[in-house]
Chains A and B, each alone.
Chain A
């Protein structure tokens, strides 16, 4: 099969790239290469290592081990500027442009063309005009970037890359905020770039786009490169099974609970991002929410909990229609919410363990607004003991606790209100294995006590291991629901990226 063609090294080659973060091996001897005039897609679950790899390539992160070659010559990419000079450009998901400046200024920011000491506006606008015409952007170069659509801004980013003489353009989920027509335009540009002998690294979660546009697909999982598919081998089912193909060998602390009446029902919830969200969760049930990051799972919970506004939709608790407009209302209906970012959204870091645990329950342990300190201490001591929060004392500031213990404090805060419904958003992210298991046990216990538990998790084994039922979301919609028996990594992933 193999042709004995002359050995031609690819334009860019990454070899044995290893990157360690505290406690995690983010990249484990990854090889990756890019050829000019081709589109290579990089796929993998969240946390597989795609972004880390691309950040190393574009000079944002430093690698621990490994080598990078361009045209066979070893290079040392020690910063974004070096990467840029080597012809590597990255277009981020969040656009990095300057909205209050015009198109020409954006393209030439930091490297203005000068005539003497003055900026040569005429030449910059002339060159900008030519560049944007290459990416089919047909607007006046004096237009402020803030006035452009997201798609147009993305094209501007491509134009900027071209002005830098980019040989390799990395596009990190470029289509995630584009409409179908806009995506078509982007694909046309990509094809044109291919003809101009530019290499594209395309990061996306959308299978149909990947299968359509890629010349090669590189699949990553858990920090490793697990496969490279050539044009003929690219097939959706194959990519999915490579993405998730890990063994589930964790045993989850899942216990049987008596699942009874519906505790919470959400009907036709809509916001500007969420479309027609309906689901329910029963007493004693753990309902898993799966999907990729950005699928809208957290947004659903924020709307249900009254943090964000709803455009329409109804919420029923124990069969009764309720109006939740603020978190105060949510608390009244005994809903607890463990948000995804502990430090930003859940904890008062400078406050004591005691103060954090009692925060949502204060009204019930006070008289005429005066806190009953004895009751407060009892409450704190109870949860420190029940949940085995490892802290030198209840007066310790929460910022001095480990991640797992901090998370237990957050969960304690909600257990203290005796919730009927508890929503947990990524409850075990960034937590060590031991604490993770304890939190799983806690969820099982709460379900056994009749609490309706909703768990968002991006870790498929966790979703599969803990949930009685699984709702899968993609781009603001619910794509399907799987029973515990019918769910598998493949079936979830398929719904999550369809």
Chain B
């Protein structure tokens, strides 16, 4: 009887927590958007369209998961759009100019991206630069390196096998979607189950208290910037594969979209809050919205305007909820 009661309580408690969680609110928004689109748009209903949406937002989601860790830790990374482009250029150049096979080239691109993150992290903890400034600097540096290395021309001549990452299918599901799922699972486990993950939340929640709890906060900071750039780089390489070329301009303005996905997903720029699930839902909302605007034949000039409003409304609603909670 008591055991039963306890179990029941647990179910009720967990249920309440899910209902109260910000991820659930975002899910509702996404759900409503999908229902409306389902009703008004015939082409929206097709399975191909669903896969296409998911494939398109998977790059946002993967990068978003990276930057969400920085944001949870109380920082910000503006450089990721350029790092995204840079890693794509490095990976494609390794194949085109050095004749490397696909897999090592992908690894090289990811290392190149991660090094930028390491650099960001060191600027923040050693040179004590505000993250905004440090990553604004690398944003510019990484982009310029893209142009210097490619002399402004797209890198063509990539290996056939490389295309699998962005264009391939596994079990009739596009590879990027698989990649998103794998990255999401790894990092959800990392953030929720590990000591380091817990410390990322603690750092963003209260840096001083975290330091006074005997934790090396600098190590945590360097790690989150490195992981963020690693994932941004990976997304960039995936996009290069999707397009079949390494574009020096790839990922321009991408940082803002990725950060927007994280914020819509319920993370707080003050740090300490945010989830992988939320980030994916945030990226999904952006993806569905983009798709909807296309299907409803809304001119592309208007799309950014509408997305801008969605970001503002999402964050304002969250703030409102928080201040009422207090």
Interface residues of A (CB under 8 A from B): 305, 307, 326-328, 330-332, 337, 339, 344-351, 355, 359-360, 362-363, 366, 369-371, 373, 393, 395, 413, 417
A307: B residues at CB distance < 8 A? 211-212
Interface residues of B in 191-217 (CB under 8 A from A): 193-196, 198-199, 201-202, 205-206, 208-216
Residues from chain A with a CB closer than 8 A to the CB of B214 are 327-328, 330-332, 360, 417
CB < 8 Å: which of B193, B210, B211, B212 contacts A370? B193
Main SS class of interface, B: helix
**Hey, which chain A residues are within 8 Å of B213, CB to CB?**
327, 331, 359-360, 413
Contact of B209 among A328, A330, A344, A417 (CB under 8 A): A344
Interface residues of B in 178-201 (CB under 8 A from A): 193-196, 198-199, 201
B278 close to chain A: CB less than 8 A: no
> Contacts A327-B213, A328-B214; is A344 near B208 (CB within 8 Å)?
yes
Complex Cα spacing A348 to B204, Å: 9
Interchain nearest-CB distance for B217 vs A (Å): 9
A339 to B214, CA, bound (A): 13
Q: Are the CB atoms of A362 and B211 closer together than 8 Å? A: no
For this complex, 12 residue pairs linking A to B, each with C-beta atoms less than 8 Å apart, are A307-B211, A327-B211, A328-B215, A337-B212, A347-B206, A348-B202, A348-B205, A350-B273, A351-B272, A360-B215, A362-B199, A417-B214
Partner of A351, one of B196, B205, B211: B205
Q: How far is the CA of A470 from the CA of B1 in the complex (A)?
A: 56
Q: Which residue in chain B gives the minimum CB-CB distance to A366?
A: B195
Say which size band chain B's interface belongs to. 20 to 34
Q: For chain B residues 50-107, which have a beta carbon within 8 Å of chain A? A: none
Residue from A348, A349, A351, A355 having most chain B Cβ neighbours under 10 A:
A348
A55 to chain B, nearest CB (A): 26
Distance in angstroms from A125 CB to nearest chain B CB is: 36
Q: Nearest Cβ distance between residue B235 and chain A, in whole angstroms?
A: 25
C-alpha gap A359/B214 in the complex (Å): 9
Provide the bound-state CA to CA distance between A348 and B214, in Å.
Answer: 14
14 new A-B pairs (CB below 8 Å) besides A305-B212, A327-B214, A362-B199? Answer: A331-B213, A348-B201, A348-B206, A348-B210, A348-B272, A349-B205, A349-B206, A351-B202, A359-B213, A360-B214, A369-B195, A371-B193, A371-B194, A393-B13
Q: How far is the CA of A347 from the CA of B213 in the complex (A)?
A: 9
A327's nearest neighbour on chain B, judged by CB, is B214
User: Nearest B residue to A306 by beta-carbon distance?
Assistant: B214
Which chain B residues border A360 with CB–CB below 8 Å? Answer: 213-215
Partner of A350, one of B193, B198, B205: B205
Chain A nearest CB, measured from B126 CB (Å): 15
| Interface contact B212-A327, CB-CB below 8 Å | yes
Residues on A with beta carbons closer than 8 Å to the beta carbon of B210: 348, 359
Q: What residue of chain B has the Cβ atom nearest to residue A336's Cβ?
A: B214
A-B CB proximity, top 5 nearest: A331-B214, A348-B205, A362-B195, A360-B213, A369-B194
Within the assembled complex, what's the spacing in Å between the Cα atoms of A331 and B208? Answer: 15
**Residue of B198, B199, B208, B211 with most partner-chain A CB within 10 A:** B198
A355 touching B212 in the complex, CB below 8 Å, given contacts A350-B272, A363-B195: no
| Set of chain A residues within 8 Å of B206, measured between Cβ atoms | 344, 347-349
- Chain B residues, CB < 8 A from A332: 214
**B residues near A328, Cβ cutoff 8 Å:** 214-216
CA distance A184 to B194 in the complex (A): 60
Q: Which of A331, A349, A362 has the most CB of B within 10 A?
A: A362
Q: Judge whether B208 and A326 touch: CB under 8 Å.
A: no
Across the interface, name the chain A residue whose C-beta is closest to B218: A326
Q: Which residues of chain B are within 8 angstroms of A359 by Cβ–Cβ distance?
A: 198, 202, 210, 213, 215
Given contacts A327-B214, A345-B212, contact A362 B198 (CB under 8 A): yes
A185 to chain B, nearest CB (A): 37
Flag if A339 contacts B195 (CB, 8 Å): no
Instruction: Please measure, in the bound complex, the distance between the C-alpha atom of A350 and the C-alpha atom of B212, giving whole angstroms.
Output: 17
B212 CB contacts on chain A under 8 angstroms: 305, 307, 327, 337, 339, 345-346
The chain B residue with its CB closest to the CB of A330 is: B214
Chain A residues near B209 (CB, 8 Å)?
344-348
Residues of B within 8 A of A349 (CB): 205-206
Interface-central residue, A328, A350, A393, by most chain B CB under 10 Å: A350
Q: Which residue of A lies closest to B189 (CB)?
A: A370
Distance of A359 Cα from B216 Cα, bound (Å): 12
Q: Chain A CB within 10 Å — which of B195, B199, B201, B210 has the most?
A: B195
A487 to chain B, nearest CB (A): 30
Are B202 and A327 in contact, with the CB atoms below 8 A?
A: no
CA distance A337 to B212 in the complex (A): 7
Bound complex: CA A368 to CA B209 (Å): 25
For the complex, give the distance between the alpha carbons of A154 and B9 in Å.
63
Known interface pairs A327-B211, A328-B216, A331-B214; A371-B195 also in contact (CB < 8 Å): yes
Residues from chain A with a CB closer than 8 A to the CB of B216 are: 326, 328
| Residue pair A371, B198 in contact (C-beta under 8 Å) | yes
CA distance A327 to B198 in the complex (A): 18
Query: Contacts of A339 on B, CB cut-off 8 Å?
Result: 212
Q: Which A residues are in CB contact (< 8 Å) with B199?
A: 362
Min CB distance A324 to B, Å, is 11
A345 to B198, CA, bound (A): 18
CA distance A116 to B216 in the complex (A): 59
Contacts of B193 in A (CB 8 A): 370-371, 373
